[in-house]
Copies of this chain bind each other. A is one copy, B any other.
Amino acid sequence: MIKIAVLGFGTVGSGVVEVMAENKVSIAHNAAEEIEVKYILARGDHAESPFAGLVIHDFSVIESDPEIRIVVEVIGGCGAAYEYTKRALLAGKSVVTANKELVARHGQELIAIAKEKNLNYLFEASVGGGIPIIRPITQCLTANEIDEVYGILNGTTNYILTQMIQCGTSFDTALRQAQELGYAELDPTADVDGIDACRKTCILADLCFGRHVPPDEVKTQGIRGVDLADVAYARALGYKIKLLGRALRSGGDKITAYVAPHLIKNSSLLSNVDGVMNGIVVHGNAIGEAMFYGAGAGKRPTASAVVADVIDAAKHFKARKYLSWEPAAPGYVTDADEMPMRWYVRVKASLTAIGTKLGNVRFVTRRGAPPDEYAFVTDPMTHSSLHESLEDMEVLSHYRILD
């Protein structure tokens, strides 16, 4: 019998405890030993929960209980979560987490501590919720040189964009719907402004390319600016607008990583990843392209990944050999704006100005457009040269095209 403690009793924490109870028999079979939650660290008493008897308020009880061999951290953030994770590892307990912020910022340090103590720090749930992605990258694609990883990494923004695309709902209304359905927080900043996708992009880049990518070096643009006019032009071009996190080799030993809305082709599988679902594409020099699809958030899908990590930790009390990355030299992450791409642009300007500044572009029209609005697709160019070309025009929007 293996005893574990769960830190945090919010959506994911309660999902973990529920799935552990519900699938107890098959989990014991898969782990080759029974696993039981001994403590739940929470602020309130959760008197209404069937697991109220397990709730405690003092982390040091867990820290000093030698029976606890695995700690699940689902508090979130980099405050208490960071402190407790360190203390748990130093106390000889493996740690499993769904905390992308903590892994993106401090993963390298925490993995190093875990290795030194010959323990595990596992975080399958930190990217793509329930979707198996960390192990596939680190155990199944090891024969490849990975060139690129990108995907729809945030369910909230994908829900909003899907509503805009499929139902013609405005951004504000779709955001409100997402909040009513519990897909978006009351303060939706982390999702809508791409911060959540940025953290996940960093973790993917860390694992795919082997060096630490700090979130604040990743240019991040969310979906607040996306307008139904852009959705309509994209449709006319045979594209959909999706928020992508993307990391790719940019020559030498350097990489580029960024988060931004993109126009992606209707014929691509990724453009059909709708609603709150996530899809992650990995490109390697042996496998070509692979995609992983599933629920990127939510109570039970996230618990699915967390509990799988608990089972893995229970089967391998010694440090797993596949999860780690090195520090990066300064300048490792190059500026995404310097990477030439085709752009979709919507401006208020004269045709003459556009012709003069941008040369041959491909124009696209939509019904009901104001007479001085033009939308077009450019040849591949860097963001700075695009910016220069658009200098004297009123730019309504401009988004990257994923070719």
State whether A273 touches B269 (Cβ < 8 A). Answer: yes
Residue from B22, B290, B303, B310 in contact with A294 in the complex, judged by beta carbons closer than 8 Å: B290
A321 contacts the other chain (CB 8 A): yes
Given the known inter-chain contacts A23-B144, A23-B145, please indicate yes or no for A292 contacting B292, CB distance below 8 A: yes
State whether A27 touches B300 (Cβ < 8 A). Answer: no
Residues from 297 to 319 in A contacting B, C-beta threshold 8 Å = 298, 300-301, 303-308, 310-312, 315
State whether B293 touches A142 (Cβ < 8 A). Answer: no
State whether A286 touches B132 (Cβ < 8 A). Answer: no
A30 contacts the other chain (CB 8 A): yes
A253 to B32, CA, bound (A): 20
State whether B284 touches A288 (Cβ < 8 A). Answer: no
Copies per assembly: 2
Given the known inter-chain contacts A130-B286, A288-B295, A294-B291, please indicate yes or no for A143 contacting B307, CB distance below 8 A: yes
Given the known inter-chain contacts A23-B286, A290-B131, A293-B293, please indicate yes or no for A303 contacting B139, CB distance below 8 A: no
A141 contacts the other chain (CB 8 A): yes
State whether B143 touches A311 (Cβ < 8 A). Answer: yes
Residues from 179 to 205 in A contacting B, C-beta threshold 8 Å = none
Residue from B131, B284, B304, B322 in contact with A143 in the complex, judged by beta carbons closer than 8 Å: B304
Residue of B nearest to A288 (CB): B295
State whether B284 touches A140 (Cβ < 8 A). Answer: no
Q: Chain B nearest CB: distance from A28 CB in Å? A: 11
Residue from B135, B290, B292 in contact with A130 in the complex, judged by beta carbons closer than 8 Å: B290
State whether A294 touches B286 (Cβ < 8 A). Answer: no
Residue of B nearest to A128 (CB): B290
A308 to B144, CA, bound (A): 8
State whether B307 touches A286 (Cβ < 8 A). Answer: yes
State whether B285 touches A23 (Cβ < 8 A). Answer: yes
Interface residues on A, range: 35 or more
A338 contacts the other chain (CB 8 A): no
| Residues in B whose Cβ lies below 8 Å from that of A303 | 143, 286
Residue of B nearest to A312 (CB): B139
State whether A308 touches B142 (Cβ < 8 A). Answer: yes
Q: Chain B nearest CB: distance from A336 CB in Å? A: 24
A135 to B284, CA, bound (A): 18
| Residues in B whose Cβ lies below 8 Å from that of A136 | 132, 135-136, 140
A228 contacts the other chain (CB 8 A): no
Residue of B nearest to A129 (CB): B287
A124 contacts the other chain (CB 8 A): yes
A288 to B130, CA, bound (A): 9
A64 contacts the other chain (CB 8 A): no
A290 to B280, CA, bound (A): 12
Residue of B nearest to A27 (CB): B143
Query: Which A residues form the contact surface with B (CB < 8 A)?
Result: 19-20, 22-23, 26-27, 29-32, 124, 130-132, 135-136, 139-145, 210, 269, 272-273, 284-295, 298, 300-301, 303-308, 310-312, 315, 321-322
Q: List 18 A-B contacts (CB under 8 A).
A: A23-B143, A23-B144, A27-B143, A31-B142, A132-B139, A132-B290, A139-B308, A142-B307, A143-B306, A143-B310, A269-B293, A286-B300, A286-B304, A287-B304, A288-B298, A291-B293, A291-B294, A315-B322
